[in-house]
Amino acid sequence: MNSVPVLQVSELKVHFKIANGLFSPPTIIRAVDGISFDVSEGQTLGLVGESGCGKSTTARAILKLVQPTAGSVHIEGVQIDTLKESEMRPLRQRVQMIFQDPYASLNPRMTVGNIISEPLSVHDICHGDDQRLEVMRLMDMVGLNPRYMNRYPHEFSGGQRQRIGIARALAVQPKLIVCDEAVSALDVSIQAQVINLLMDLQQQLGLSYVFIAHDLAVVRHIAHRVGVMYLGRIVELADSDDLYQSPTHPYTQALLSAVPVPDPTVSQQRIKLVGEVPSPDSVYPGCPFVDRCPVAEDQCNHTVPTLTPGAHQVSCLVQSIDLPADSVEVSG
């Protein structure tokens, strides 16, 4: 196994400026505000969090579909955030993306065969009969009948369309695939099929994934490591089993307590968070979670927490988390 991580993200920031008129300063939207993580060969990193926390912007910054404001992104040891688009083109083969919406991510005017073969032509990998055979092989690999290669996307179900998207991503033989909510638009039973397909492909091809989702159960099933994001920052990063069995950050505990238990006879303690996720243009001199945290202390208002070193990293200033009784709701 390669000693260099497939993906290295260091202090990544993505800020957007919104104009407020001729004489007013622009508003700065801090979509991603200084996150760091690595993804090793054959491993899956799951990124979870509420809507608006910066997961999808992180995905696009990894592929340089948006330009990072600060920080660095390395793919197999090559820093890509400083490269020109012409210099990025060879690296596009190393990292691909599976999009959230299988309906919008496929060109309705192209046949499935043309959709999957397009990256083969763009990167000059193969042509003619070799290209047709490769498309048939890719379709068979993702569980699609190769005889359907002349059909159009509207003739397929949602799960089949996502398999087409996976085949297109695999066409250039990438080492890293970014899955941006790749199963959230699918039915539960179809989600399981696609997740199992991704895991099988990882075993066969040695792929690495950055798997972005809001469904904690799905992430637990596929991810080796999990990062929990809040307001553009990672607040907890650990091995999957460790994080789910021993969540340390109050936000992670609240997220996991909200996962429903499929047995109505079992009582469940749910941590209640007050208020909504702040706007990403808010500036906090301390912890960004302070307004909603049930165990916040005075130091949280003026001291910015950082991730602790080690296998289980947590960004929290509170040493002993003892939840007050009024923040816990018992059901069942």
| Residue 243 within any structural domain of the chain | yes
- Report the CATH number at residue 62: 3.40.50.300
Each residue of 119-174: pLDDT tens digit? 999 999 999 999 999 999 999 999 999 999 999 999 999 899 999 999 999 999 99
Final residue before a domain boundary, out of 123, 143, 173: 173
Arithmetic mean of pLDDT over the chain: 88
Residue found by looking up tokens 């054959």 in the block: 42
Distance CA 295, CA 289 (A): 10
Question: Is the same domain home to 139 and 32?
Answer: no
**Does the pLDDT at position 330 exceed 70?**
no
Q: How far is residue 203 from each of residues 172, 206, 219, measured CA to CA in Å?
A: 18, 6, 17
Each residue of 175-201: pLDDT tens digit? 999 999 888 878 888 888 999 999 999
**Does the pLDDT at position 62 exceed 90?**
yes
- What range defines the domain where residue 110 resides? 95-173
Question: Is the same domain home to 295 and 276?
Answer: yes
Each residue of 209-218: pLDDT tens digit? 999 988 888 8
At 284 the pLDDT is 83
Question: Is the same domain home to 129 and 149?
Answer: yes
Calculate what percentage of the chain has a pLDDT beyond 70.
95
The tokens for 17 are 């400026």
Distance CA 170, CA 176 (A): 10
Q: Which amino acid is at 291?
A: D
At 322 the pLDDT is 60
Question: Is the same domain home to 193 and 321?
Answer: yes
Residue 79 CB contacts under 8 Å (≥ 6 apart), including other chains? 72, 73
Each residue of 271-314: pLDDT tens digit? 878 777 788 888 888 898 988 888 888 999 999 999 998 899 99
Question: Is the same domain home to 187 and 169?
Answer: no
At 323 the pLDDT is 58
At 240 the pLDDT is 94
Q: For residues 45 and 18, which has the higher predicted lDDT (pLDDT)?
A: 45
User: Per the structure, how many domains does the chain have?
Assistant: 2
| Residue 2 within any structural domain of the chain | no
- What pTM does this model have? 0.89
Question: Is the same domain home to 204 and 321?
Answer: yes
The tokens for 150 are 């002349």
At 2 the pLDDT is 59
Question: Is the same domain home to 225 and 80?
Answer: yes
Region 224-253 average pLDDT: 93
Confidence band of 331 (pLDDT split at 50, 70, 90): low
Question: Is the same domain home to 112 and 124?
Answer: yes
Each residue of 65-101: pLDDT tens digit? 999 999 999 999 999 988 888 888 888 899 999 998 8
Closest among 317, 207, 232 to 36, alpha carbons compared: 232
Region 29-39 average pLDDT: 93
Q: Taking the CA atoms of the chain, what radius of gyration do you get in angstroms?
A: 21
**Does the pLDDT at position 327 exceed 60?**
no
Collapse the DSSP code of 287 into the 3-class scheme (helix H, G, I; strand E, B; otherwise coil) and give the result.
Answer: coil
Burial class of 29 by CB neighbour count within 10 A (0 to 12, 13 to 18, 19+): middle
String of DSSP letters for 123-136:
TT---HHHHHHHHH
Question: Are the beta carbons of 282 and 233 closer than 8 angstroms?
Answer: no
Question: Are the beta carbons of 315 and 235 closer than 8 angstroms?
Answer: yes
Question: Is the same domain home to 169 and 297?
Answer: no
Each residue of 302-321: pLDDT tens digit? 999 999 988 999 999 887 66
Distance CA 79, CA 264 (A): 51
Distance CA 69, CA 12 (A): 8
At 35 the pLDDT is 94
At 190 the pLDDT is 87
Question: Is the same domain home to 190 and 271?
Answer: yes
Question: Is the same domain home to 186 and 292?
Answer: yes
